[in-house]
């Protein structure tokens, strides 16, 4: 679309003579010119619900929190390497159980909540570990025995046993985001929507269903943003959001999903469309404790029966990637070595079903009524029908879906584990026995615990990768979870946006962004 379109004038109005409201539109002049302020406007597809790191989940919440909070360390947005954040450095004891972090001096909490000290780190981690908090991420810190604050600028974390992946647990994401003892204590129950952090932006206000506003933190230790504020506008419809981006009513379009809209924006003048593989696959999780699904041959037959390439090329028009396991290429521990592949082969699927002596098998896929999860399983069900499995799709509204899944009483369900590039995030969540329902291990798989513990005990990166590699091989042989495709996040921005870096966390972070000409 032409960004230099003429402002509406009388000639244009003449085209619409008689239509009500035209005079009103003209009276207010051209609405679509870029603003002169340093406000960045970002599109969100859905609303936020809570910003307390102990309980936070969902991409929109995490996107907001990423601007407000810091961790001891953080993921480099480009490479996913772990780099310093509020800790300037750390040492690990020879036996791998004592981690000592030196903290950054002169960091202050937002809104006059005082100086950041080791006591806040101790409070943040102990708060997640306290059962009374009801944190979702207590298990992530299960290896922590004790958190000590020997002086205001030093934190010592003592582990029960060595954990080669421990830095992931204190990385700036979810439980790794640090909170202020004073703020959490004083604000109390209302903290979840009144967050206090040390990050480049401070929480200003939330208008339910409409927008979230953050303002720049002038005292940010990394240097204040050149933006004055960021407004996250909730625009559910992707076409409306695309028009708003083209009209310069928005600067960044987050969570771009529809292949049509992606194509449209790629053709639009002045719009940049970015994409990056994200840290998650979308999976069909099979309940391995019921009916024919107990037999691994049936599960393998299903994998051969589903034309996943056609799903990616056809339904998603190439906007997703093939998945070879539940880890994606964004993980440093990702490996395909020795991991079995399952080509689309309906004959092989039929043969495996015959071998397993399965006939008249009724199979139900439970999925959530959100785009695209409510539509693509239909194609898979059709593939399964072609080999004689009587597959149906049950679409549930989100609340009902979450309840059905957490009850564990589903034959199969569509599940994606969106999270940091910590391999434990998908692997523990999908395969560990401690994630049995109400957790997401609805397959009730029980053969991964030892391998996950082995990976945690590994002392170096190579050993760690080898252990995860063994786990990937085993789980792809056993197939409690069928990876359908690897997700890919699209983000588009307008011509005035500079310095934007897309991460693989499925979140949007505009901290390094500046506006050209503002």
Q: What string marks each residue from 256 to 295 as x (binds other proteins by CB under 8 A) or -?
A: ----------------------------------------
Burial class of residue 467 (count of CB atoms within 10 Å of its CB; 0-12, 13-18, 19+): buried
Tell whether residue 439 is a contact of other proteins (CB under 8 A): yes
Residue with tokens 């390094």: 512
CA atoms within 13 Å, Cβ hemisphere of 267: 7
Counting residues that bind other proteins (by CB under 8 A) gives 71
Whether the CB-CB separation of 277 and 329 falls below 8 Å is answered with yes
Q: What string marks each residue from 307 to 346 as x (binds other proteins by CB under 8 A) or -?
A: ----------------------------------------
Tell whether residue 517 is a contact of other proteins (CB under 8 A): no
Give the CA angle between residues 476, 480, 481 to the nearest 5°: 75
Using CB under 8 A, pick the residue from 167, 235, 252, 491 that binds other proteins: 235
Using CB under 8 A, pick the residue from 82, 244, 472, 481 that binds other proteins: 244
Tell whether residue 466 is a contact of other proteins (CB under 8 A): no
| CB environment 177-195: b (16+ within 10 A), e (fewer) | bbbbbbbbeebeeebbbbb
Q: Least distance (Å) from other proteins to the CB of residue 108?
A: 26
Using CB under 8 A, pick the residue from 227, 365, 440, 456 that binds other proteins: 440
Among residue numbers 55 through 114, which ones bind other proteins (CB under 8 A)?
A: 55, 57-58
Q: What string marks each residue from 12 to 31 as x (binds other proteins by CB under 8 A) or -?
A: x--xx---xxx-xxxxx-xx
101 φ, ψ (degrees, to nearest 5): -110, 135
Using CB under 8 A, pick the residue from 93, 210, 359, 371 that binds other proteins: 210
Give the nearer residue to other proteins in terms of CB position, either 190 or 267: 190
Nearest C-alpha neighbor of 345 from the set 283, 282, 300, 285: 300
Among residue numbers 132 through 191, which ones bind other proteins (CB under 8 A)?
A: 132, 134-139, 189-190
Among residue numbers 375 through 434, which ones bind other proteins (CB under 8 A)?
A: 396-400, 402-404, 406, 417, 429
Q: Least distance (Å) from other proteins to the CB of residue 35?
A: 8
Q: Which stretch binds other proteins (CB under 8 A): 89-97, 236-244, 289-297, 494-502?
A: 236-244
Give the nearer residue to other proteins in terms of CB position, either 139 or 495: 139
Length of the chain, please?
518
Q: Which residues contact 376 (CB under 8 A, 6 or more apart)?
A: 311, 315, 316, 484
Give the nearer residue to other proteins in terms of CB position, either 244 or 472: 244
Tell whether residue 251 is a contact of other proteins (CB under 8 A): no
Q: What is the DSSP letter of 313?
A: I
Q: Least distance (Å) from other proteins to the CB of residue 251?
A: 13
β-strand partners of 174: none
Among residue numbers 113 through 142, which ones bind other proteins (CB under 8 A)?
A: 131-132, 134-139
CA atoms within 13 Å, Cβ hemisphere of 253: 33
| CB environment 361-390: b (16+ within 10 A), e (fewer) | bebebbbbeeebbbebbbbbbebbeebbbe
Q: Least distance (Å) from other proteins to the CB of residue 443?
A: 15
d(CA 410, CA 408): 6
Does 372 sit behind a cis peptide bond, omega within 30 degrees of 0 on the bond before it?
yes
Using CB under 8 A, pick the residue from 78, 111, 145, 236 that binds other proteins: 236
Is residue 483 classed as helix, strand or coil in its secondary structure? strand
First to last CA, the chain: 23
Using CB under 8 A, pick the residue from 97, 154, 228, 247 that binds other proteins: 247
Q: Which stretch binds other proteins (CB under 8 A): 45-53, 177-185, 442-450, 503-511?
A: 45-53
Whether the CB-CB separation of 159 and 143 falls below 8 Å is answered with yes
Using CB under 8 A, pick the residue from 130, 186, 237, 263 that binds other proteins: 237
Among residue numbers 488 through 507, which ones bind other proteins (CB under 8 A)?
A: none
């Amino acid at each position: 679309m032409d960004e230099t379109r003429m402002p509406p004038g009388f000639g244009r109005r003449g085209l619409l003579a008689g239509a009500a409201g035209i005079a009103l539109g003209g009276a207010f002049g051209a609405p679509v010119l870029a603003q002169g302020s340093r406000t960045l406007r970002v599109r969100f597809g859905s609303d936020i619900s809570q910003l307390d790191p102990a309980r936070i989940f969902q991409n929109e919440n995490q996107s907001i929190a990423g601007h407000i909070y810091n961790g001891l360390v953080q993921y480099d947005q480009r490479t996913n390497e772990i780099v310093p954040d509020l800790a300037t450095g750390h040492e690990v004891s020879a036996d791998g159980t004592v981690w000592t972090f030196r903290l950054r001096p002169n960091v202050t909490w937002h809104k006059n909540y005082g100086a950041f000290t080791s006591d806040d780190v101790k409070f943040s981690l102990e708060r997640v570990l306290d059962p009374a908090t009801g944190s979702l991420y207590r298990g992530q810190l299960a290896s922590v025995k004790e958190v000590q604050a020997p002086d205001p600028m030093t934190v010592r974390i003592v582990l029960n046993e060595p954990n080669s992946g421990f830095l992931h647990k204190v990385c700036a994401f979810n439980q790794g985001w640090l909170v202020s003892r004073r703020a959490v204590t004083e604000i109390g129950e209302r903290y979840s929507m009144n967050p206090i952090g040390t990050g480049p932006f401070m929480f200003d206000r939330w208008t339910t269903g409409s927008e979230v506003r953050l303002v720049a933190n002038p005292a940010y230790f990394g240097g204040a943003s050149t933006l004055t504020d960021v407004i996250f506008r909730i625009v559910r419809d992707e076409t409306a959001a695309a028009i708003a981006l083209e009209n310069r009513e928005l600067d960044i379009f987050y969570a771009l999903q529809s292949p049509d809209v992606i194509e449209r924006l790629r053709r639009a003048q002045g719009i940049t469309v970015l994409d990056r593989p994200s840290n998650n696959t979308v999976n069909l999780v099979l309940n391995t404790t019921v009916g024919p699904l107990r037999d691994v041959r049936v599960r393998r037959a299903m994998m051969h029966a589903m034309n996943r390439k056609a799903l990616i090329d056809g339904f998603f028009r190439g906007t997703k990637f093939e998945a070879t396991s539940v880890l994606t290429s964004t993980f440093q521990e990702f490996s395909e070595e020795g991991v079995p592949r399952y080509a689309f082969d309906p004959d092989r699927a039929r043969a495996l079903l015959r071998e397993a002596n399965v006939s008249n098998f009724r199979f139900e896929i439970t999925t959530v009524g959100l785009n695209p999860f409510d539509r693509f399983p239909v194609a898979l069900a059709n593939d399964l029908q072609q080999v004689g499995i009587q597959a149906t799709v049950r679409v549930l509204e989100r609340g009902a879906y979450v309840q059905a899944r957490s009850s564990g009483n589903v034959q199969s369900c569509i599940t994606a584990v969106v999270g940091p590039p910590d391999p434990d995030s998908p692997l523990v969540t999908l395969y560990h026995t401690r994630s049995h329902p109400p957790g997401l291990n609805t397959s009730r798989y029980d053969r991964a615990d030892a391998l996950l513990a082995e990976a945690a005990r590994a002392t170096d990166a190579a050993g760690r990768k080898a252990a995860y590699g063994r786990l990937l091989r085993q789980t792809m042989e056993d197939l409690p979870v069928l990876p359908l495709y690897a997700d890919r996040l699209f983000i588009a921005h307008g011509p005035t946006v500079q310095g934007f870096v897309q991460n693989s966390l499925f979140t949007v972070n505009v901290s390094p962004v500046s506006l050209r000409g503002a």
